[in-house]
Amino acid sequence: MTYTENSFEYNQIQIQTDHQGYLKNVTDWNTDIAEIIAQKEQIALSPAHWEVINFVRDFYLEFKTSPAIRVLVKAIGIKLGADKGNSKYLYTLFPIGPAKQATKIAGLPKPAKCL
Amino acid sequence: MKKLTIIFRRAPHGTPHGREALDLALLSASFEQEVSLIFVDEGVLNLVKMQHPELVGAKDFIATFGALPLYDVDTVLACKTSLLEYGLDKAELTMKLTQVSPAEITQHLADADEVLVF
Amino acid sequence: MILHHIQTSPAQDNALATCLRYIDKQDTVLLSGNAVNALLLNTWQHELAQRRIFILEEDVKARGLTERLSQFNFINYEQFVQETLHHDKVISW
């Protein structure tokens, strides 16, 4: 697998990204590509990560925008229980920032406002 | 917590106002402000279903209106008179809202802490 | 009590018409920029007849309309600021 600065290879296809590693095309995404991006972010994806990634991706596909952190926290709380419905839990999964990292791994554009 | 009312008075896609208004609504709601939206005049055209803004190179922010309940923005009003003028009074619209009279809008504006018009 | 601020001509934009649809009896209308032109027309003079209105002096003078609009209340920028403080809020249409 070869990486260049703004793309990486997957199944002999060059996948285009921006300089921060966000996919250029939402439709290029699949779960293998999610794993590749996660590796670059030094995150080993667990089912807990996938819950968040799937939520963020579904949210984006339906509403054409990435959810604010508050919405993410609330939705995860409803899905996984109140003990996980807080930003601390999300930061343990995505240490650099849940909004940035979960959207990147979900193959979405960088959120305009990281809130 | 401030009561912020955002008025949509312009049609979508021709100007960036509607998208900016919605951005502000979501941003303010993320900061725990009590946000309400009012659609008036040509702004009621934001509520029309089955829009395809991509066809004219515009961003599909209309889909983003659907996220409002998840941001706890529950007060969405539309002017009855304006809906009637644009033939939308009986149409199925993009989101759950309350049709109100101009007088009810006047009252709502009086009750708000801050009113911003787009 | 709200101060409604209109900055565009009604020939160009619906701001004034929309504002008048939702304005309260006790509210005030402030016209500035090309919005002052509204008062040259009978329709808008009539629409605004029962309202408390102000027009921004500088904008009237700049357009050479001082004589023609002399029956209305002119205010300067300082008075404009005072009015924003006298009202509960300002809505810029």
Chain C CB contacts of B105 below 8 Å: 22
Picking from B112, B114, B70, the residue whose alpha carbon sits closest to that of residue B95 is B70
Separation CA C17–CA B42 (nearest Å): 12
CB contact under 8 A, B106 and C22: yes
From B23, B59, B71, residue closest to A71, measured CB to CB? B71
Q: Give phi and psi for C31, each to the nearest 5.
A: -105, 130
**CATH 3.30.1420 intervals, chain A:** 3-40
Which of C22, C89, C91 has its CB closest to that of B102? C22
Range of B15's domain? Answer: 3-117
- Domain C2-92 belongs to what architecture? 3-Layer(aba) Sandwich (3.40)
Contact C89 B105 (CB under 8 A): no
Q: Do C91 and B117 touch (CB under 8 A)?
A: yes
Whole-number pLDDT of residue A112: 67
Fold of A47-105: Arc Repressor Mutant, subunit A (1.10.10)
Burial call A17-40: b when 16+ CB within 10 Å, e when fewer: beeebbbeeeeebeeebbebbbee
Whether the pLDDT of residue A114 is over 50: the answer is no
Cross-chain residue pair B66–A59, CB shorter than 8 Å: no
Q: Which has the minimum average pLDDT: A11-20, B45-54, C72-81?
A: A11-20
Q: Residue B77's domain is classified under what CATH number? A: 3.40.1260.10
Alpha-carbon gap: B26 to the closest alpha carbon of chain C (Å)? 20
- Bridge-partner residues for B85, per DSSP? none
Chains C and A touch (3+ CB pairs under 8 A): no
Q: Which percentage of chain A shows pLDDT scores above 90?
A: 57
Any chain B CB within 8 A of the CB of C14? yes
The residues of chain A that CATH labels 1.10.10.370 are 47-105
Contact status of C21 with chain B (Cβ, < 8 Å): yes
With bands split at pLDDT 50, 70 and 90, how would you rate the model's confidence at A115? very low
> Domain A3-40: which CATH class?
alpha beta
Give A63-113 pLDDT, tens digit per residue.
999 888 888 898 888 888 888 888 899 999 999 998 889 999 999 988 765
> pTM to 2 decimals?
0.90
Average pLDDT over residues B25-40: 95
Amino acid code (one letter) for C18: T
Percent of chain C surpassing pLDDT 70: 100
Is chain C in touch with chain B: ≥3 Cβ pairs within 8 A? yes
